[in-house]
Amino acid sequence: MSSQRSARLVVLASGGGRTLENLQLCIQRGELAAEIVVVIVSRADLQARERAQKLGLATMVIGPQSHPDRALRDKLLLATIHEARPDFVILAGWLQLLPIPPELEGKVLNIHPALLPAYGGKGFYGHHVHQAVIRDGAAISGCTVHFATSAYDQGPVVLQTAVPVLAQDSPDDLADRVFAAECESYPQAIRHLLAEDAWWEGGQVYWRDS
């Protein structure tokens, strides 16, 4: 995005909202030239909604409990996103598969708590990922920022950050280390995209020659 205006972000969250909070704090510190115009949460009782409200962000609840009909839910979700006119849609622990019409291709970003394609796909989220990494005795894990597509965790990668898995790690220990990397990596990836250092084209990510 070559203009000087702040990028418009829509954030979707299904959990505690720590990723959302990190992004908003980066914006407030002047580290990310963006504004979060609306936060969509999947349940009214989520901590993500509480965090968003404390941060002064507009919130909406759109999920299986509030909108049981899947077709109507997806229609409302996409209508809310389109109304916000986002430069990017940021998935921040969003656990549902977001329908991505052609006009949103290359605009939806996700962060996954592992080095994709390892430990990705349906059912691999949050604590489940870290448990699997520890169980398998992997030496390295990390996080992946990627464009979301119609399949879980299969979109092209923008940025990956590796972290070590230590011998004494519990899943919680690893989760803390990976989340610290996520707090750096997600804003960094968004900055690269806003500066047009990297971009989506034809289902691939391309980088400007340095």
Q: So which residues are the catalytic ones?
A: 112
3-state secondary structure of 49: helix
Q: How far apart are CA 101 and CA 182, in angstroms?
A: 27
Task: Give how far the C-alpha of residue 70 lies from the chain's centroid of Cα atoms, to the nearest Å.
Answer: 22
Q: Which residues pair with 13 in a beta bridge?
A: 41, 92
In angstroms, the Cα distances linking 99 to 65, 136, 193 are: 18, 32, 22
Q: How far apart are CA 128 and CA 2, in angstroms?
A: 39
Q: At how many degrees (to 10) do helices 18-28 and 171-194 cross? A: 40
In angstroms, the Cα distances linking 51 to 22, 58, 199 are: 11, 11, 30
Q: How far apart are CA 65 and CA 85, in angstroms?
A: 26
